[in-house]
Chains A and B, each alone.
Chain A
Amino acid sequence: MSLDLPRVLPQIQQMGETAARRFRELAQRVPQARAALGAAAGLAPDEWARRLERAGKDWRGARPSHEPLDSARPAPPHPDRLDVIGADGSQVYPDRHAAALYFLVNIGSLHLIHGSGQPPSAASVPRLRFEEGDLFDDFHGLIGAEAVQAERDIAEMAELARLASAVAAPPSLALLDNGLLLWIALEEREIGRTRVEAYLKRYWSSMKELKSHAVALAGFVDRPRSADVLSLLHLAELPWEEIDRDRLRQTPYLGLADRALFADRLAPGQRSALFVDGSPVNKRFDAEGFQVFFFYLRTGADDSIARVDVPAWVAEEPDLIDIVHAGILEQCRITGIPYVLVRAHELAVVGQGDRERLDDLLGIELVRNGIAPRGSRKAESKRWTSQRKRHSL
């Protein structure tokens, strides 16, 4: 072990004290945020439009939806029968020190028909990518973690679409263990516009398939850190003439997350109002008819708050929103996060041991094809030192 624990211990103690102090300070701001939510709920739609326009194109906070800002909606009844599908992915990133360049995306999924009394269907599908077109971006550089994550997200959405198309009768709920926006869209400068367009097209194609089956699609984010609603409250509190980029940054809620506000406001099972995600990526999704909305949900008796993303076709259809709300609550009843996502993760996860076995098999195949597998000197030297033992006399 290289970490000198006695040396880091005083820093850990200091960190603990700072974290506790910060927690107390942030908790004191929650009542202010709660009052701000009540006041903001009284703003007329015209006033919101004026304020958001003044905030400008750089505004990244949430936007109000058609629902009252301070609403707290109780759990609707759960359908007697509901197809629930969950997909999650895991990945192995390309390693330039390895014997060969590749990356792997493994997608786990579970399709459970609540109320059927039948066992669910489980799947785990690995995809190994090793062609040049997969590995290099538009500028001929080796793709990075963001691109592999995008491939994983696209494969997750495609798996949901595949399973949803096999559902015999609506309603159905399809869940991802993440938000719904594809963040690679922000990487155009780094990896090239053509490539980003191709990613988005594939992702939207699966969303289109889900929409055509009227599937209640949702992205589940456990322990969300976003503060989009708090930013919106700050915008509502500012005097009109003081709304500018600098003042918008000087929020009194700095460090506080939306979930602290909604843990205080929502009773178990209740959800917040719908909001529109304000990120620039969502503008591109909106142009395709897939604008992303979100709400917060208190998933159980403890103060667990999840953020739930839904596309426009779900947000604008009360029956579908009710399916998302009731379906997620039922799925969270035992496991805290949706059962289908717990199982999808279990089916997807690729551990360090899997990675080592994958490399071993790859080495055998290289030998079979007349190539001696050889990692970089750096990889070799890491292997020498990673199993350091103490020798004693």
Chain B
Amino acid sequence: MSETPSSIGRVTRCSIRGFAGATQLPETAFPSFGDFCRAEMRPSQTAGKADAADYAVGLIYDLSVQDDELARQLAAADEPTAEQLLDSQLRRSIPVEISALTVGHRVGGAWLAGLPPQPPLTLSRIYLLDGDEVRAFTRDLRFLRHILAADAVSQEDLLEASLQRAALAQPAPARDEFVLRAGRECARRLGHDLPRLEAILERLHEL
């Protein structure tokens, strides 16, 4: 795990199936749709290394920017100056809500594709997974089932974005093999829905 991961927010709402966090970031520092993230859970009482925290692992499926009075003033003005607009877009910290679909967890140092036993802790920090963590978590592609079963999420878009992130985290020679494995996992899960499978495989082909 990265030694100094930077937090992208804190958990404000959570359930077993997902969590939402709030943060204040300049627009340049936003996380992206499809990014893998983690938020700390209550420590496991059954097993695991004492020094490894337990995390719920999520996929970011929505980012919403909340407005405030100053943003509304600028938006309503006839002509904010270029410098004021750039200040708001690049410098000013603005309230952001991050929504993540839970697709797995880490307990006792092991990455697992099942839903976690508990939701993350309220106000625990949310971190993006670094490359090593993404590789470790996506070794088991059964996490894809959570995306394919998710409501209120654009499943195909989230699948494509998350697999793209995961593929980029692989060493270059292993990327094609990873995408092939992902395609097989999708085929196994969507054998009953050939039109949808075909649409997804087309997207994977473009990765």
Contact mask for chain A residues 140-177; partner B; CB cutoff 8 A; 1 contact, 0 none = 00000000000000000000000000000000000000
Q: Given A122-B91, A334-B77, A343-B92, A116 and B70 touching (CB < 8 A)?
A: no
Other-chain residue from B70, B82, B91 in contact with A342 (beta carbon distance below 8 A):
B70
Contact between chains at B82 and A117 (CB < 8 Å):
yes
Whether A119 contacts B70 by the Cβ 8 Å rule is no
Query: Which residues of chain B come closer than 8 Å to A334, judged between CB atoms?
Result: 73-74, 77, 80, 84
Given A333-B77, A334-B77, A343-B92, A118 contacting B70 (CB threshold 8 A) = no
Q: Does any Cβ of B come within 8 Å of A266's Cβ?
A: no
Number of chain A residues close to chain B: CB under 8 A? 18
What B residues does A346 contact at CB under 8 A? Answer: 70, 92
Which residues between 103 and 129 of chain A lie within 8 Å of chain B, taking CB atoms?
A: 110, 112-114, 116-122
Least CB separation from A119: chain B residue? B86
Interface members, chain B 68-86 (any A CB < 8 Å): 70, 73-74, 77, 80-84, 86
B180 within 8 A of A: no
- A208→B140 CA distance, assembly (Å): 66
Count residues of B near A (Cβ-Cβ below 8 Å): 15
Interface residues of B in 51-91 (CB under 8 A from A): 70, 73-74, 77, 80-84, 86-87, 89-91
Is A32 in the interface zone, CB < 8 Å from B? no
Contacts of B73 in A (CB 8 A): 334-335
The CA of A343 and the CA of B82, in the complex, are separated in Å by 16
Query: Which residues of chain B from 82 to 137 have a CB within 8 Å of any chain A CB?
Result: 82-84, 86-87, 89-92
Instruction: State the Cβ distance, B176 to closest chain A Cβ, in Å.
Output: 41
Contacts of B74 in A (CB 8 A): 334
Residue of B with least CB distance to A121: B91
The minimal Cβ–Cβ distance linking A342 to chain B, given in whole angstroms, is: 7
Shortest B26–chain A CB gap in Å is 9
Asked if A339 is an interface residue, CB under 8 A from chain B, the answer is: yes
B77:A118 contact, CB within 8 angstroms: no
Give chain B nearest CB distance to A341 CB in angstroms.
12
Bound CA–CA A121/B92 (angstroms): 10
A118 contacts B92, C-beta separation under 8 Å: no
Instruction: Give B79 Cβ to nearest chain A Cβ, in Å.
Output: 9
Contact A119 B81 (CB under 8 A): no
Task: Write out the residue numbers on chain B whose beta carbons fall within 8 Å of the beta carbon of A113.
Answer: 83
> Quick one: which of A312-362 are within 8 Å of B by CB?
333-335, 339, 342-343, 346
B90: min CB distance to chain A, Å: 5
| Contact call A120/B87, Cβ cutoff below 8 A | yes
Known: A334-B74, A335-B73, A342-B70. A119 touches B80 (CB 8 A): no
User: Complex: how many Å from CA A294 to CA B40?
Assistant: 56
Query: Which chain A positions have C-beta within 8 A of B84?
Result: 112, 334, 339
Cα separation A112 to B92 with both chains bound (whole Å): 13
Residue pair B77, A119 in contact (C-beta under 8 Å): no
Q: Would you call A118 and B80 a contact (CB within 8 A)?
A: no
Across-interface contacts of B77 in A (CB, < 8 A): 333-334
Question: In whole angstroms, how far apart are the Cα atoms of A346 and B91 in the complex?
Answer: 12
- CB pair B83–A120 under 8 Å, yes or no, is yes
- In whole angstroms, what is the CA distance A112 to B87 when docked? 9
Q: Which of B70, B81, B83, B92 is the most central at the interface, judged by chain A CB atoms within 10 Å of its CB?
A: B83
- Residues on B with beta carbons closer than 8 Å to the beta carbon of A117: 82-83, 86
Chain B min CB distance to A120 (Å): 5
Cα–Cα distance between A292 and B69 once the two chains are bound (Å):
34
**Are the CB atoms of B83 and A335 closer together than 8 Å?**
no
Beta-carbon contacts of B10-39 to A below 8 Å, as 1s and 0s? Answer: 000000000000000000000000000000
Indicate if the CB atoms of B91 and A120 lie closer than 8 Å.
Answer: yes
Query: Please, what's the 1-or-0 string for A218-229, where 1 marks a CB less than 8 Å from any CB in chain B?
Result: 000000000000
Residue of A nearest to B85 (CB): A119
A334 to B92, CA, bound (A): 17
**Which residue in B86, B87, B90 is a CB contact (below 8 Å) of A343?**
B87
* Alpha-carbon gap, A121 to B90, bound state (A): 10
| Cβ A118 vs Cβ B83 within 8 A | yes
B87–A110 touching, CB < 8 Å: yes
| Chain B residues within 8 Å of A333, by CB | 77
Chain A to chain B contacts (Cβ below 8 Å), 20 pairs: A110-B87, A112-B83, A112-B84, A112-B87, A113-B83, A114-B81, A117-B82, A119-B83, A119-B87, A119-B89, A119-B90, A119-B91, A120-B86, A121-B91, A122-B92, A333-B77, A339-B84, A342-B70, A343-B87, A346-B70
The chain A residues found within 8 Å of chain B, CB to CB, are 110, 112-114, 116-122, 333-335, 339, 342-343, 346
8 nearest A-B residue pairs (beta carbon) = A119-B86, A334-B77, A119-B90, A122-B91, A117-B82, A120-B87, A112-B83, A334-B73
Having A122-B87, A122-B92, A334-B74, one finds 5 other A-B pairs with CB under 8 Å, namely: A119-B90, A334-B77, A334-B84, A335-B73, A342-B70
